[in-house]
Amino acid sequence: MIPPLLDPAATIAAALLVPFTGTLLVLLCGRWPNLREAVSLVTALGLTALVYSLLGPVLAGARPTLTLWEVIPGVPLAFTVEPLGLIFAMIASLLWIVTTIYSVGYMRGNQEHAQTRFYACFAVAILSAIGIAFSGNLLTLFLFYELLTISTVPLVTHTGTDEARRSGRVYLGLLMGTSIGLQLVAIIGCWVLAGHLDFVPGGLLAGHAEGWPVLILLALFVFGIGKAAVMPFHRWLPAAMVAPTPVSALLHAVAVVKAGVFTVVKVVVYVFGLDLLTATPGVSWIAALAGFTILSASFVALRQDNLKRRLAYSTISQLSYVVLAALILAPLSVMGAALHIMAHAFGKITLFFAAGSLYTAAHKTHVSQLDGIGWTMPWTMGAFAIGSLSMIGLPPTAGFVSKWFMLGGAYQAEAWAAMAVILASTVLNAAYFLPIVYRAFATRPAPAADPAQAHGEAPWPIVLALTLTAAGSLVLFLAPDAFLALAAQLVGGAP
Amino acid sequence: MLETVLGLYNYWIVIVLMMAGFYTVIVRGNLVKKVVGLNIFQTSVFLLYITMGTVEGGTAPIVDAGADLYTNPLPSVLILTAIVVGIATTALGLALTVRIRESYGTLEEDEIIEIEDRMDGEV
Amino acid sequence: MPLVQNLPALQVVLPLVAAPLCLFLRAPRLAWLFALAVSAAAFAIAVSLTVSVTEVGAFTYAMGGWAAPWGIEYVIDPLDSFILCLVTGIATLVLLYAGPSVEAEVPHRLIPAFYVLFLLCLTGLLGMVATGDAFNLFVFLEISSLSTYALVAMGRDPRAQTAAYRYLILGTLGATFYLIGVGLLYMMTGTLNMEDLARRIPAVADTRTISVAIAFLAVGLALKLALFPLHKWLPGAYTHAPSAVTAFLAATATKVAIYVLVRIFFTVLGPIEAFQTLPAAVHETQVVGVLAIIAMLSGSAVAIFQPNLKRLLAYSSLAQIGYMVLGISMVSVTGMTAGLVHMVNHAMMKGALFMALGAVVLRIGSPRIERLDGIGARMPVTMAAFLIAALSLIGVPGTSGFVSKLYLVRAALEDQHWIMAAAVIVSSLLAIVYVWRIVEVAYMRSPPADARPVREAPLVMLAPLWVLALANVYFGLETTWTVGLAEDAAGFILTYVPGEGPLSEHPALEELLEGVNGGGHGPAAEEGAH
């Protein structure tokens, strides 16, 4: 563990300033690619160090707070580091390092254009993710939530093709439409009911509302947080797959989508409070919708031949695990939700890295093209296999840990339907991931007709990155202590 | 009833003028006629103000030893200002009319709209 | 300090006196600098007025030394000083911007006249805010309107002339309606001083004359502020006027009209407690609220399909006027705050948007969307500012537009006006559509192959543009000034009680006449009314 560098409040400020400065420096260094990418990497390292230095104090029970000026009377721009946010920030910042390494290989390997814009937007997106993670009230959260949407639009439309434009339209329309159309209304509703917007352990709305307004607000939040991709507002995620792979990997497997489910969990725990929701009839209907999303997205994923699209639908399904687990409302399942943010992040980023690696080295994008590729790209496909295990929730991967807690919570709350959904989808996960692994290793590749098409592994930064994340999935199965402790604090466990 | 009509005859004149002017502004397609209608409309308001200031039996508000009842001078003064405004409006309206005639070659509103629609289509 | 005491008068008189002087400065550039200096001085006056108002509270100024209600009185209260700062501040920025823009868009020999008209328009707007006299307000209304018609007509396109003509016809109708309304009020009360009116109207509130007066005032002012369905003049005028004029009008003229609406209906007519108060009537039937909702939805929807970006923004302005009126029509402190805050915020965003568009017109020669492919790469500095202001228009958090919408939706939810809240949200979603349409063209298409390289707009245009764009961000994150002042003003307006004062005879007048002929009778305004 890294000793605290600064006092906690200053660390929060620094954690926001570092990516901000990084953005500016990237823009300034646009002409010198090596320097630019070094800046990105140093920024990511610095940010990670800062975020991890907060782990000690938070585990010890501290809740570092940074309150800036009041944006509107009574509602300041405020940041508080609590366990859930720290989990999210730790994952986002750590994986940013890995992704930066990966990006260098990918963007250069594919000779992408406008790389400076790419790195700058990336840094802003991470800044937003950190802002979301550490936000101390709904207004601050919403501010960074929208900043995240806006900063990722140029990344989604990066290629500038007609398809990218169409996807950009879906992406922005759905994310901004739901956030302004539903989430904002919910936030203002909370403001009217409670008079403030601070996250309060036990629930901001506790004692201010009950019955149907609570249910309506919950529905507005769950659907309004479009980044959580609960059906019917999930279409933006497959659309976003048109972006370069590092974007799909970090943003659409980690930062953006996790910001969504993180917000859902945060809202459930700190805005409503588990007690209030338990006392509110009808919450199970919204949970049922998440369950429906899990299953139907899995079925859709089964039918996708394009690898990235299959991963995207898998993400939609996995995100709803988190929503469902949070809405089971049992302490264990909420812990499971928090842990699944972490577990899915490592697993899915590995899978995306592998997809990008296949594209860079072999220009293969479809599942049906992958016959025997495990023999030419063993590292890539080995990591892919580990990622798949984590998605299914099998040991020895992190996915097992989170699924264990979710099932435990479902048992605790006697939510048998939820339990059935989780188990059924586990089977489905296996059905759409294992054939890929099988195809890659068990079949022999057709002999290349053209020797020019022969290829080996992807560039080393790519291989390094995906090896690291796959290893992460394993390590977090063996030693999830820090995350477990944080998740336990989230549901009121003693520090 | 008769008293309502005759006793308030000044208001009836105002109303008739006002509606005539308003009708002209709205219905007429010729830009000059619109300006004339606007003028009539404004004039009716001037009359409204002036008649309301009149005091029955009062004289012009010039201090004089023989008079002890004066007409209220304030509305007249106000209307003096309003007349100036009205003249400026008329002058500007007519000046615009001249320039429109130079640019479009017509003063009929429907023809102007036709030309403008063509301009919109051209770009 | 005599100068300080005369500041309220100076605020209005300075641009009025300075205006004709522009004509003598035959060189366009000299006229520009002179007008700029005058508006900067007016801004300084407005700021110092604000300072004194915060120190000593509202104060009055008797024009020419004639005491109210006999003479014309200028009243500066916190709301007034706030609007004065806004108008003069925007005027200064627009004038700074106007230099190169006007040289490109207005015939050379007309440029000094342009600045004369601009300062006159400023005079009118400032006078409308400062005056405490209902008739005087009409005069200033016409000063600003007449100069605006001429300014609009200065656009290059022949359609500017027809747009100006239509604006003239409708604007004059609106002003005359206002005049009729004021005449009827005078008929019933015998006074034109606003405070005096507020004191006397309750006694005669039940009469039909007052109801008719309210109707005339409402229609007249709705025409002036382009509330649906009386908005027909606005899109044409904004589209074809020179860019600087559009920026100025969009940022200030409709705002002052809204201010007048608030002033007349909430302070002059406010004390009536029966149904006759329009606010109360509105509250029951929600006529104005419904019109505002239609304006918001139709304005945003029509904006989506406009190929000319100036017209697009003009329709968006119609929608935004709907927001302001909607907030005001709720007759609650939060709603009024929302309306007033949005007044300021919208001035900043539309000012910036029209300025950016003017810079594009200067370099590309057209505000039509098919000419703007890849403009984001060709004029990055201008378009970045445009983008910030456009996000503010949508109401993205971190921009001032967000704050307006936050308060507007909150006001609607507080009073459980679900439809109003939904309308605000839907209109914002429509705004995403039209903004995104521009973004796609500007940033995701490559410039036409034969496009000649364009330079950025000159610094004097970029500087005010960026000041406004950054103001959008600043006032989105720090709202003590805007929201605080608007809340104060909203509280002040909604609980307005006219001060004590003489109710019937005016001693000043008696003395006046005595001084002339040693005795006499006051003119009997009340008897004059049949």
Separation CA A48–CA A94 (nearest Å): 6
> In sequence order, what are the residues at sequence separation of 6 or more whose Cβ sits closer than 8 angstroms to the Cβ of residue A301?
A310, A313, A314, A317, A428, A432
The answer to whether C165 and C296 are in contact (CB under 8 A) is no
Q: Which residues of B touch C368 (CB under 8 A)?
A: 123
Who among C398, C407, C413 is closest to A189 (CB)? Answer: C413
Chains touching chain A at 3 or more Cβ pairs under 8 angstroms?
Answer: C
Mean pLDDT value of segment C24-41: 88
Residue of C nearest to A156 (CA): C444
Check B81 against C139: CB less than 8 A apart: yes
Give bridge partners of residue C59 from the DSSP assignment: C76
Q: Please tell me which residue, C285 or C85, carries the higher pLDDT value.
A: C85
Q: In a 10 Å sphere around its CB, with 0-12 CB exposed, 13-18 middle and 19+ buried, how is residue A112 labelled?
A: middle
Q: Which residues of B touch C528 (CB under 8 A)?
A: 52-55, 71-72, 75
Q: List, for residues A426-479, the tens digit of each pLDDT value.
A: 888 888 888 888 888 877 766 555 555 556 777 777 888 888 888 888 888 887
CB-based touch B/A (3+ pairs, under 8 A): no
Separation CA C141–CA C125 (nearest Å): 7
Q: Please say if the pLDDT value at position C147 is more than 80.
A: yes
CB atoms within 10 A of CB A372: 15
DSSP per-residue string spanning A433-468: HHHHHHHHHHSPPPPPSSGGG---SPPHHHHHHHHH
Token pair, residue C20, equals 């004709």
CA within 13 Å, CB half, A355: 32
**Residue of B22, B31, B52 best to disrupt the C interface, most CBs of C under 10 A:** B52
Q: Please say if the pLDDT value at position C68 is more than 70.
A: no
Token pair, residue C106, equals 């207005």
Mean pLDDT value of segment C26-53: 88
The answer to whether A185 faces chain C, any CB pair under 8 Å, is yes
Q: Please say if the pLDDT value at position C520 is more than 50.
A: no
pLDDT class for C247, splitting at 50, 70, 90?
very high
Check C421 against A185: CB less than 8 A apart: yes
The answer to whether A180 faces chain C, any CB pair under 8 Å, is yes
DSSP A66: E
Token pair, residue A435, equals 């054939």
Percentage, residues of chain A above pLDDT 90: 2
Token pair, residue A173, equals 């329309």
The answer to whether A381 and A358 are in contact (CB under 8 A) is no
Q: Which whole-number Å values give the CA distances from B104 to A471, B111, C407, in the listed order?
A: 77, 9, 48
> In sequence order, what are the residues at sequence separation of 6 or more whose Cβ sits closer than 8 angstroms to the Cβ of residue B87?
none
Residue of B nearest to C520 (CA): B68
Task: Return the pLDDT at C525.
Answer: 37
User: In degrees rounded to 5, what are phi and psi of residue A347?
Assistant: -65, -50
**Residue of C410, C416, C441 best to disrupt the A interface, most CBs of A under 10 A:** C410
Residue among C130, C141, C278 nearest C201 (CA): C278
Token pair, residue A118, equals 């790419």
Task: Return the pLDDT at B91.
Answer: 93
3-state secondary structure at position A67: strand
Check A184 against C425: CB less than 8 A apart: yes
The ipTM, to two decimals, is 0.91
Q: Please say if the pLDDT value at position C273 is more than 60.
A: no
Mean pLDDT value of segment C261-287: 63
Percentage, residues of chain C above pLDDT 70: 89
Q: Which residues of C touch A139 (CB under 8 A)?
A: 397
Residues written for chain C: 530
How do C59-62 and C73-76 pair as beta strands?
A: antiparallel
User: In degrees rounded to 5, what are phi and psi of residue B59?
Assistant: -100, 180
Residues written for chain A: 495
Token pair, residue A176, equals 């901004």
Check C436 against A172: CB less than 8 A apart: yes
> In sequence order, what are the residues at sequence separation of 6 or more whose Cβ sits closer than 8 angstroms to the Cβ of residue C117?
C19, C147, C150, C151, C154
How do A65-72 and C73-76 pair as beta strands?
A: unpaired
Chains touching chain C at 3 or more Cβ pairs under 8 angstroms?
Answer: A, B
Residue of A nearest to C446 (CA): A160
Check C410 against A146: CB less than 8 A apart: no
pLDDT class for C141, splitting at 50, 70, 90?
very high
Who among A139, A169, A185 is closest to C425 (CB)? Answer: A185
Residue among C385, C371, C352 nearest C456 (CA): C385
Check A72 against C410: CB less than 8 A apart: no
Q: Please say if the pLDDT value at position C61 is more than 70.
A: yes
Q: Please say if the pLDDT value at position C54 is more than 90.
A: no
**Mean pLDDT for chain A overall:** 83
Q: Mark out the alpha helices in chain B (DSSP H runs).
A: 2-7, 9-27, 31-53, 73-104, 109-122
Check C425 against A189: CB less than 8 A apart: no
Q: Which residues of C touch A76 (CB under 8 A)?
A: none
Separation CA C266–CA C228 (nearest Å): 21
Q: Which residues of B touch C153 (CB under 8 A)?
A: 96, 99
Q: Which residues of A touch C391 (CB under 8 A)?
A: 150
Mean pLDDT value of segment A252-275: 85
Residue among A15, A13, A9, A4 nearest A43 (CA): A15
Task: Return the pLDDT at C272.
Answer: 52
Residue of B nearest to C71 (CA): B74
C-alpha distance from A90 to closest chain C C-alpha (Å): 25
Q: Mark out the alpha helices in C395-530 (DSSP H runs).
A: 400-414, 418-444, 459-477, 480-494, 507-517, 525-528
pLDDT class for C144, splitting at 50, 70, 90?
very high
Task: Return the pLDDT at C121.
Answer: 93
Check B96 against C153: CB less than 8 A apart: yes
C-alpha distance from A192 to closest chain C C-alpha (Å): 6
CB-based touch C/B (3+ pairs, under 8 A): yes
Check B71 against C179: CB less than 8 A apart: no
Q: Please say if the pLDDT value at position C509 is more than 60.
A: no
Residue among A340, A323, A365, A317 nearest A224 (CA): A323
Task: Return the pLDDT at A462.
Answer: 80
The DSSP H or E segment spanning C62 is strand C59-62
Residue of A nearest to C436 (CA): A169
pLDDT class for C119, splitting at 50, 70, 90?
very high
User: In degrees rounded to 5, what are phi and psi of residue A78?
Assistant: -135, 150
Task: Return the pLDDT at A445.
Answer: 64
Residue among A148, A152, A373 nearest A241 (CA): A152
Task: Return the pLDDT at A477.
Answer: 84
Separation CA C181–CA C187 (nearest Å): 10
Separation CA A15–CA A49 (nearest Å): 9
**Residue of A139, A144, A180 best to disrupt the C interface, most CBs of C under 10 A:** A180
Check B31 against C139: CB less than 8 A apart: no
Give bridge partners of residue A79 from the DSSP assignment: A66, A135
Q: Under an 8 Å CB criterion, which residues of C touch B?
A: 135, 138-139, 142, 146, 149-150, 153, 158-159, 161-162, 164-165, 168-169, 172-173, 176, 179-180, 183, 186-187, 192, 307, 366, 368, 513, 516-517, 520-521, 523-525, 527-530
Residue among B86, B61, B57 nearest B75 (CA): B61
Q: List, for residues A377-418, the tens digit of each pLDDT value.
A: 888 888 888 888 888 888 888 888 888 888 888 888 888 888
Amino acid, res. B51: T
Separation CA B64–CA B71 (nearest Å): 13
Separation CA C288–CA C329 (nearest Å): 6
3-state secondary structure at position C368: strand
Q: Which residues of chain B have pLDDT under 70?
A: 1, 67, 122-123
Check C173 against B7: CB less than 8 A apart: no
Q: Which whole-number Å values give the CA distances from C219 to C133, C146, C175, in the listed order?
A: 20, 19, 10
Domains of chain B: 2-55+68-122 (1.10.287.3510)
Residue among A352, A335, A356, A418 nearest A388 (CA): A352
Token pair 């017509």 is found at: B106
Check B65 against C146: CB less than 8 A apart: no
Check A73 against C395: CB less than 8 A apart: no
Sign of the dihedral through C-alpha C507, C511, C512, C517 = positive
Task: Return the pLDDT at C179.
Answer: 92
Check C398 against A188: CB less than 8 A apart: no
Check C440 against A189: CB less than 8 A apart: no
Task: Return the pLDDT at C347.
Answer: 92
Max mean pLDDT range (A22-36, A207-221, C199-213, C294-308): C294-308
Who among C444, C478, C483 is closest to A165 (CB)? Answer: C444
Separation CA A183–CA A491 (nearest Å): 24
Q: Cα torsion for B67, B72, B76, B78, to the nearest 10°?
A: 140
The answer to whether A79 and C486 are in contact (CB under 8 A) is no
The answer to whether B100 faces chain C, any CB pair under 8 Å, is yes
**Residue of C172, C209, C217, C366 best to disrupt the B interface, most CBs of B under 10 A:** C172
Work out the angle between the directed axes of helices C400-414 and C459-477 (0-180°, nearest 10).
40
The answer to whether C319 and C306 are in contact (CB under 8 A) is no
Token pair, residue C297, equals 């939805």
> In sequence order, what are the residues at sequence separation of 6 or more whose Cβ sits closer than 8 angstroms to the Cβ of residue C530?
B7, B8, B52
The answer to whether B78 faces chain C, any CB pair under 8 Å, is yes
Token pair, residue A339, equals 């842990």
pLDDT class for C124, splitting at 50, 70, 90?
very high
Q: Which residues of C touch A71 (CB under 8 A)?
A: 403, 476-479
Residue among C263, C212, C393 nearest C318 (CA): C393
Task: Return the pLDDT at C90.
Answer: 93
Q: Which residues of B touch C172 (CB under 8 A)?
A: 38, 42, 89, 93
Separation CA C361–CA C401 (nearest Å): 25
Q: List, for residues C339-388, the tens digit of each pLDDT value.
A: 999 999 999 999 999 999 999 888 888 888 888 888 888 888 899 999 99
Task: Return the pLDDT at C526.
Answer: 36
Strands annotated E in A22-124:
65-72, 75-80
